[in-house]
Amino acid sequence: MSKEVSEKVHVLIIGSGPAGYTAAIYAARANMKPVLYQGIQPGGQLTITTEVENYPGYPDGIQGPEMMVHFEKQAARMGADIRYGLATKVDFSSQPYKVEIDEEKWIEADAVIISTGASAKWLGIESEQRLNGFGVSACAVCDGFFFRGKEVAIVGAGDTAAEEAMYLAKLCTNVHMIVRRDQMRASKVMQERVINTPNIKIYWDSVTEEIVGENKVESVKIKNTKTNEIQQVPISGFFVAIGHQPNSDIFKGFIDMDETGYIKTIAGTSKTNIEGVFAAGDVQDKHYRQAVTAAGSGCMAALDAERYFSAKGLV
């Protein structure tokens, strides 16, 4: 494929969640003339979140999509060039770095900030998508508070699912945990904690048949795969904790990643294994995955890029 470059930019930011927009704000204020491509989901995962109550500065809470509009407007006001478009290929083999947009044009950049985020893995059932944001969530830490004093279900069997079940158990009257096999994948200590928590009920060898409700979650149908028996359990919230997939495929072969595809950064920085390429937000963070930590790492990436330019004499 031809790599005829149609444009040269100073800083290219790939992705537009809290990390990307914050990086754009800082980079624009530092006169680095950032160009940001929003990707396939402008605003990132927060655009499929309803109420956000744990981001500082919003005492009454805010809707996720509205919050991302605020981020975008602030970045634009600072002078960031924000564009629709999806990065489809990269070539980080030599400087300046090249990024293909929409399989159509190549852009060169002196530095690149990767903030492509991660996508929650879903079960793939119709009712799950229909009720997403109306009682169905992929983040217990984000949304568990709204179900205080109510009954909820969670599906998953790894450490994240166990941690989120424990978190929900502190808030909710009962947590119905749906586990596909006859054992959990979580570490032994986490399994013991879950099993010994009195208000967590585990459904072994079970799958989610359907989430019931018209405009909100009302109950869940749980199917035992050994007996084919189906139980319908009344709940108000349904949490999916079967993992996240970092949106990092196009960087494979250039950027160092862990076994699940999360980008590795040098501890305490946003620096990747390639000089002048930085990573921020959920694409490199599988531990916290919060809007506020993503925004903080976006700030780090822009400051790291600014220092990189100073050291190279490119500013």
Q: Which active-site residues does the annotation give?
A: 139, 142-143
Extract the tokens encoding 97.
Answer: 């770095």
- Exposed / middle / buried, residue 207 (Cβ in 10 Å: 0-12, 13-18, 19+): middle
Evaluate the CA torsion angle 40, 138, 57, 282 in order and state its sign. Answer: negative
Q: CB under 8 Å to 307, separation ≥6 — which residues?
A: none
Q: Taking a C-beta distance cutoff of 8 angstroms, is the pair 125, 32 a contact?
A: no
Q: CB under 8 Å to 148, separation ≥6 — which residues?
A: 171, 172
Residue type, 29: R
Question: Per residue, what are the HEC states of 44-83?
Answer: HHHHHCCEECCCCCCCCCEEHHHHHHHHHHHHHHHCCEEE
